[in-house]
Amino acid sequence: MRRPTALVAALAAALACTVAGAAQPDWSKVPARKITAFYPGASPLEWVTKGTEHGGARAMRKGETCASCHDAEAADMGKKMVSGQKLEPTPPKGKAGSIPVSVQAAHDGTNLYLRFQWKQPPASGGAKMDAENAVKLAVMLEDNKVELANLAGCWATCHEDSRTMPGAKDDKKTKYVAGGSVASGKYYDLVQWKSKGKPTDGHVAEARVAEGGSALVSAEGKLAGDTWTVTFTRKLAGGAGDVALVSGKTYNFGFAIHDDHAGGRFHHVSLGYTLGIDAKADITAAKM
């Protein structure tokens, strides 16, 4: 009588594995890129594109990306802003200026796999803005349709009138894309892992929407010693609000880490990079 029971259990386990997105890649064989996530202070898109305050605005008008200018100095920028030296009226005491992150990507023809690893910075001892979640990691993808997304990455969703920005009048206004909508294709696909609670599978268009996506299969994270590892499994194809990922194409890509119970803009963010599916990019997801 035990054999049928064991067989049923084995079949159930196999089915669960298939539904969950099959086996993870052998990450030891997947190239990794080091990307610095830095503290951005109060640097909304309006500041980024204002030539009188940001010298890089002229380079952007010529088609240069933020990453092409600032990739190597991201840690220095974070240090200036987290200390209040620049673009931060309320410096968060004790917060790390930057976090070096190892980023890997692969796919199996059905799912995209993204893996992030970083060492936990020392606790700042500041206020717990998100008491429930000590750490969150969000990823945003964009299909080359949002204006400036290819140059400024996720900054196209960060505006001076968003909540938690200095002087913001609406405490409910979230990230958004100017003129964005899912119907027009002008939106960012958004997934987020949380140290507690259900992962987010949504998008950013007229506003930040934390639900409605159907592409996210799983988001898993763990702390081993002093190192965090967060892995996303996402279908290449999706529904409304999900960017469809196609072999041979590149997409705009960025991520953010809310560390030490941070909330709102008090996070660490990457510059904008490209993610290629079997295509040359800043990060290439090759087929396993």
pLDDT for 53 equals: 87
Pick out the chain residues at pLDDT < 70.
1-22
Share in percent of the chain as helix, strand, coil (round to 5): 20, 30, 50
How many CA atoms, within 13 angstroms, populate the side-chain half-sphere of residue 282?
Answer: 20
> What's the pLDDT at 11?
38
**Distance between CA atoms of 108 and 286, rounded to whole angstroms?**
8
The whole-angstrom separation of Cα 104 and Cα 112 is 11
Q: Which domains does the chain have, with CATH numbers?
A: 26-287 (2.60.40.1190)
**Strand pairing category for 283-287 and 98-107:** parallel
Are the C-beta atoms of residues 207 and 198 closer than 8 Å to each other? Answer: no
pTM for the model stands at 0.91
Tokens of 233: 């499994």
Nearest to 188 by CA among 197, 170, 198, 201: 201
- Residues 31-58 have pLDDT tens digits of 999 999 999 999 999 999 998 889 999 9
**Residue 88 confidence (pLDDT):** 97
Helix and strand numbers (H, E) in the chain are 6, 13
User: Both ends of the chain: CA-CA distance in Å?
Assistant: 40
pLDDT of residue 59: 94
Query: pLDDT value at position 284?
Result: 98
pLDDT at res. 22? 59
Residue 80 burial (CB < 10 Å; 0-12/13-18/19+)?
A: middle
3-state secondary structure of 253: strand
